[in-house]
Structure 1
């Protein structure tokens, strides 16, 4: 009764997709989840909560309407932490209900408990009542995700000095906040609280931020943050954090500057949640950040029959790519054919404003020696942008001069994470600049920016002679794949995202 074709540890994006995929192939599947409810970090403390918080903040603050009605405009004058939490709980309940229904209709069994290896094929599960049961799997997939990195020198108290998980439980909104860490998570929360009119200061020892994003997009994004009075102390390290008697927190940086604030969010990295798995019993070993190394094409670890997917394997650490990794791993684990995913996948940063990117950056084009041209469109150039009251927003397209193919799409502004999928489709279908020039887009929409940027590039590139065929794609025109985690491009992005 306790033998399975596939055992999945963790029910986040990678785990749930893997379990359902294996179940659809008529395999006996068990999911082990140590949290109170299924969904993993993505549903309870990560992707869904942060995006729900963002949407609630923008709606209640009237952020999107301030272009018309001024910076003092509010939908709700006094926004409380309870206002934010109320919508969050409704969203989380819905997500859990959907996931439980998916497990039920696909006949995926799931158990609540803490799993650890007894052997490379057997897991011990400690239930809430202390009982221990053992289960055996022909294959085992580790999709345990990550948790916030909590160094000893930071005096976490869950109230005024917090990590990104604890931030969701705050009882009142701070008037001021220091965010330590200018990575994706730190920047997302920093800009969300800034939209709620909290005075935010971001500190990071690196002199730049979001290095895997096209530099021109980051420059535009940075300008918008500074324009609304966010303080960016880049190239400065937070050396001391201490709680003060009056309830405030003091942060001292290596330049000697001291900031007194209501709240500190430490968001400088995450750790793979592998320390309780007894990896040694299975012959596995994690790196210094608790992550597991896998074959980038099959997601199998160095131990045959044991797989890992999602954030626990490192970059790109996206819910979308984690789902795809889980699906591929499950198919390989049960002996089914796993098709290679499309070469280009989008990366979304749900800050205020949003950033989304797909394909090669201008810096990568230069490094690879690919002759190129860019086309730019600003949202204020579109009728829809005027209707929405947008003063900001930028879409950038990068084309190969040799093949005229689209090789990169980069967006900062309202709806960027939705708009990017048009560019993603053209990238994967090997479309050229002519597609944007000749295509018809709904009017008025922000998607018109693609036509404007396409025309901008086309004017610079010159019209293609009618008798000259479009060259076929060259090897240099390919970008990294979801599974190609060890390519030079991905290595660079992995380092930048830490």
Structure 2
């Protein structure tokens, strides 16, 4: 039996960051990955593939130029699924190569196979060739990620009714698509295929979407989707889904019937913990396969076993998963782990992008904080005109008492990049004066910060700062 300081199950964002952090502290680390290549869901079926698909779709469709040349404009007239897959494979190869090099450079050992607990400190790994290896470690980090939720009533066939993992392998682009689930994954894929001129219908039992995002941003986002003829059937549930003659028929709970070429079921994900034999380690997962942890150390109820990433639930971001993995690894090997900054950005790579950091207007109201908002529309910037943008909105919320920035919320081109300016000001406790008095490159979309800052400053009047 091989003995390690840290055993990491899963090589996604949390697993790889945790493994490398422990290795940099001089510890002996082993990573177990059941996939064909390292990288986990993030590299192979989640974050990187969906964002690569988005970028490819926008480039080949000419989406970003349609403000100038009209909605019929296309860079490539006939876009195929193979066009999308070709760029995807190049990107994935690069990501895997970088990760393997990081493991080699930091002397992180890794093997392929399915891991399961034998006891709280021992795991067995079944390799593809059937060989069974037993390993033990002083500490264990579970970073197994999630897999699509696949209910029994959905007639999945990997062709016309698919989950979000299978969508990446489609043979041809559908003319019409129904997406079930208005969560982040469903919305991202729905808007990407809409940009490829697929007729998309989005269905969700809830009457609202993205409830953790500022309501004004969501309203602007929904307006843009409807403006391009996406159908949003919120507050409606697909009760029956039948495949017939190469099509799919859906019956909703209100009696409405839909016929479509393809159905994407994206209503939730499950923690990939079902094969770990958790009871042998004294652990149990919830109904969605997720593990409960201490939010500061990411330790489970078994002190030397940690969990990080999507398997512990919200916010389920690659960026936050990396930090969780790093903190968990430091605690696991006895190093000091500083708490990360309070505010982190949330990015939704839909078309258009949404990104947010800090408090929403709804949260500010709940806390009874006197506040004022500043708004900038991308079309108000010279860069926006140069890019042909008719849409795009940046919103900032400031405290009237301290004049400090409380939240920044963006919908539009480049939102996930622009948000980091607001994130820095939030974590450094900056005020509205930062945006009013600072100089931004001209012409840039970042100028929207100054416009929104001035908008708020004018509304705030002469209220004095108490800082």
Match of 1:141 in 2: 141
Separation in structure 2 between the aligned mates of residue 213 and residue 388 of structure 1, nearest angstrom: 26
Match of 2:452 in 1: 453
Taking structure 1 as the reference length, what is the TM-score of the superposition? 0.93
Q: 1:412-491, aligned counterparts within 5 Å?
A: 412-465=411-464, 470-472=465-467
Separation in structure 2 between the aligned mates of residue 382 and residue 296 of structure 1, nearest angstrom: 41
Structure 1 gap ranges (5+): 473-498
Separation in structure 1 between the aligned mates of residue 340 and residue 466 of structure 2, nearest angstrom: 24
Match of 1:256 in 2: 255
Q: Secondary structure at the match of 1:118?
A: strand
8 Å Cα contact 2:60-2:74 kept in structure 1: yes
Separation in structure 2 between the aligned mates of residue 134 and residue 235 of structure 1, nearest angstrom: 50
Separation in structure 2 between the aligned mates of residue 232 and residue 464 of structure 1, nearest angstrom: 43
CA-CA distance at 1:463 after TM superposition: 3.4
Match of 2:269 in 1: 270
Q: Deviations over 1:106-163 (max 9, x none)?
A: 0000000000000000000001111111000000000000000000000000000000
1:21 aligned onto 2:16: no
Match of 1:299 in 2: 298
Match of 2:160 in 1: 160
Match of 1:130 in 2: 130
Match of 1:193 in 2: 193
Moved over 3 A (4+): none
Aligned length: 467
Separation in structure 1 between the aligned mates of residue 275 and residue 462 of structure 2, nearest angstrom: 61
1:96 aligned onto 2:96: yes
Separation in structure 2 between the aligned mates of residue 121 and residue 183 of structure 1, nearest angstrom: 37
Separation in structure 2 between the aligned mates of residue 165 and residue 434 of structure 1, nearest angstrom: 46
Match of 2:366 in 1: 367
Separation in structure 1 between the aligned mates of residue 129 and residue 66 of structure 2, nearest angstrom: 53
Q: Secondary structure at the match of 2:136?
A: strand
Q: Secondary structure at the match of 2:119?
A: coil
CA-CA distance at 1:462 after TM superposition: 1.0
Separation in structure 2 between the aligned mates of residue 416 and residue 65 of structure 1, nearest angstrom: 18
Separation in structure 2 between the aligned mates of residue 145 and residue 340 of structure 1, nearest angstrom: 22
CA-CA distance at 1:44 after TM superposition: 0.1
Match of 2:403 in 1: 404
Taking structure 2 as the reference length, what is the TM-score of the superposition? 1.00
RMSD: 0.6
1:356 aligned onto 2:373: no
Match of 1:76 in 2: 76
Separation in structure 2 between the aligned mates of residue 64 and residue 129 of structure 1, nearest angstrom: 48
CA-CA distance at 1:376 after TM superposition: 0.1
Separation in structure 2 between the aligned mates of residue 250 and residue 99 of structure 1, nearest angstrom: 43
CA-CA distance at 1:206 after TM superposition: 0.2
Match of 1:117 in 2: 117
Structure 2 gap ranges (5+): none
Q: 1:323-402, aligned counterparts within 5 Å?
A: 323-402=322-401
Q: Deviations over 1:158-188 (max 9, x none)?
A: 0000000000000000000000000000000
Separation in structure 2 between the aligned mates of residue 420 and residue 50 of structure 1, nearest angstrom: 20
Separation in structure 1 between the aligned mates of residue 185 and residue 128 of structure 2, nearest angstrom: 31
Q: Secondary structure at the match of 1:136?
A: strand
Separation in structure 2 between the aligned mates of residue 319 and residue 242 of structure 1, nearest angstrom: 35
Q: Secondary structure at the match of 2:251?
A: strand
Separation in structure 2 between the aligned mates of residue 224 and residue 309 of structure 1, nearest angstrom: 35
Q: Deviations over 1:351-398 (max 9, x none)?
A: 000000000000000001111000000000000000000000000000
Match of 1:175 in 2: 175
Separation in structure 1 between the aligned mates of residue 19 and residue 162 of structure 2, nearest angstrom: 33
